[in-house]
Amino acid sequence: MEKKTIIANWKMNGSGVLMRELTLAAERTANSLPEHISLVLCPPAVYLQEMTHMLRNSPVAIGGQNCHAELSGAFTGDISAPMLSDVGAKYVILGHSERRQQHGETNEQVRAKAEAALKSSLISVICVGESLVDRESGKAVDVVTEQVRASIPSLKSLTPDSHFLLAYEPIWAIGSGQIPSEAEIVSMHAAISDTLFALTGKQVPVIYGGSVTPENAHAILHLSKVCGVLVGGASLKVESFAAIANAAI
Ligand code: PGA
């Protein structure tokens, strides 16, 4: 069975109370899922340590939403990849369009962060995606494959054990309720996957993100080359995240 990874991106939402409710619910959901489906929760970093404790006997993994490219130093307010690893994170989302837009993150910075994540044995979830203008002017595939080329770890930093994911998240689909057509998702995932194979010689899993809901999850998750989903808004409700996870079956 092809592995599917269902990742919750809580962004800057929630509270200790909601975190505990969602974590316990994800643990219950994971216990009834077949082995080829994995759940990953990416909360605000302050909750990671408690979640590691809560999930110590569970297959649910946790991840950060960002990390610094340096491993330590005078970077007030930032968090390093080794620190995420230290509190039990296995994954880290990098280059999300909200970070690219609101914090001016460039492909080069995303690449440096992904290399820092590799050094800490974290699995990066490297996000790429086109704007509506790019899509409407027919440039989506070129823009996205260029982001892929420039954002993934450099070849010299990759070893046979290096593991990372690519998340295709069209910017216009995030939080908007709009998604690309199935054909557009399939062709973009194929283009990303081919680009990654040409660069690395590996089959790097490509997941989809942007307005994934219980209603559209089954169709998206069963498209060719879709190895999972990155879920924002719908991951903040127990029922909708469970329904999306079950839609991967
Ligand atoms: P959304 O967010 O599911 O709320 O559209 C996805 C994301 O930003 O990762």
* pLDDT tens readout for residues 172-187: 999 999 999 999 999 9
**pLDDT range class, residue 161, cuts 50, 70, 90:** confident
231 pocket-lining for ligand 1 (C-beta < 6 Å): yes
Tokens of 114: 């992904």
Burial of 129 (0-12, 13-18, 19+ CB in 10 A): buried
Q: Point out the ligand 1 atom lying closest to the alpha carbon of residue 173.
A: 5
Q: Mind listing the pLDDT tens digit for each residue in 103-145?
A: 999 999 999 999 999 999 999 999 999 999 999 999 999 999 9
Query: What is the average pLDDT score of the chain?
Result: 97
Helix then strand count (H, E) for the chain reads 10, 8
Of 230, 235, 240, best ligand 1 pocket probe by most atoms within 8 Å of the beta carbon: 230
Which pLDDT score is estimated for 150? 98
Average of pLDDT values for 4-31?
98
Ligand 1 neighbourhood includes 214 CB (under 6 angstroms): no
Based on its alpha-carbon atoms, the radius of gyration of the chain, rounded to whole angstroms, reads: 17
235 CA: nearest ligand 1 atom: 3
pLDDT of residue 1: 82
Listed in sequence order, the DSSP H helices in 67-139 are 81-86, 97-102, 107-119, 132-136
Helix axes 140-151, 182-200, angle to 10 degrees: 40
Residue among 70, 61, 18, 59 nearest 42 (CA): 61
Average pLDDT over residues 54-83: 98
Q: Which of 12, 91, 126, 211 to mutate to test the pocket of ligand 1 (most atoms within 8 A of CB)?
A: 211
**Coil, strand, or helix at residue 234?**
helix
Looking at residue 31, its amino acid is N
Say yes or no to pLDDT of 154 above 90. yes
pLDDT of 73 = 98
Could you confirm whether 108 is annotated as catalytic?
no
Task: Report the share of the chain in percent with pLDDT over 90.
Answer: 98
Q: Is 230 in the pocket of ligand 1 (CB under 6 A)?
A: yes
Whether 96 is a known active-site residue: answer: yes
> At residue 68, what are phi and psi to the nearest 5 degrees?
-85, 155
Is the C-beta atom of 174 inside 6 A of ligand 1?
yes
CA of 29 to the centre of ligand 1 (A): 20
Confidence of residue 209 (pLDDT cuts 50, 70, 90): very high
Average of pLDDT values for 7-29?
98
User: What's the pLDDT tens digit per position in 77-94?
Assistant: 999 999 999 999 999 999
Q: Which residues are CB-neighbours of 204 under 8 A, at least 6 positions away?
A: 152, 164, 165, 166, 193, 196, 197
172: left (phi over 0), alpha (psi -120 to 50) or beta: alpha
Residue 115, ligand 1, Cβ within 6 A: no
Which secondary-structure segment (H or E) carries 198?
helix 182-200
The confidence score (pLDDT) of residue 153 equals 97
Q: Which atom of ligand 1 is nearest to the CA of 210?
A: 5
Query: pTM of the entire structure?
Result: 0.98
What pLDDT score does 47 carry? 98
- CB-based contacts of 249, cutoff 8 Å, min separation 6: 33, 34, 37
- Asked if pLDDT for residue 166 goes beyond 90, the answer is yes
Q: Which of 96, 98, 130, 189 is catalytic?
A: 96
Of 44-53, 95-104, 157-166, 209-218, least confident by mean pLDDT is: 157-166
Pocket test for ligand 1, best of 12, 101, 174, 229 (most atoms within 8 A of CB): 174
Question: What's the Cα-to-Cα distance from 162 to each of 44, 96, 128, 144, 146, rounded to whole Å?
Answer: 25, 21, 19, 22, 21
CB 95 near ligand 1, within 6 Å: no
- The DSSP bridge partners found for residue 166 are 126, 206
Q: Does residue 160 carry a pLDDT above 90?
A: no
Backbone angles phi, psi at 173, to 5 degrees: -95, -15
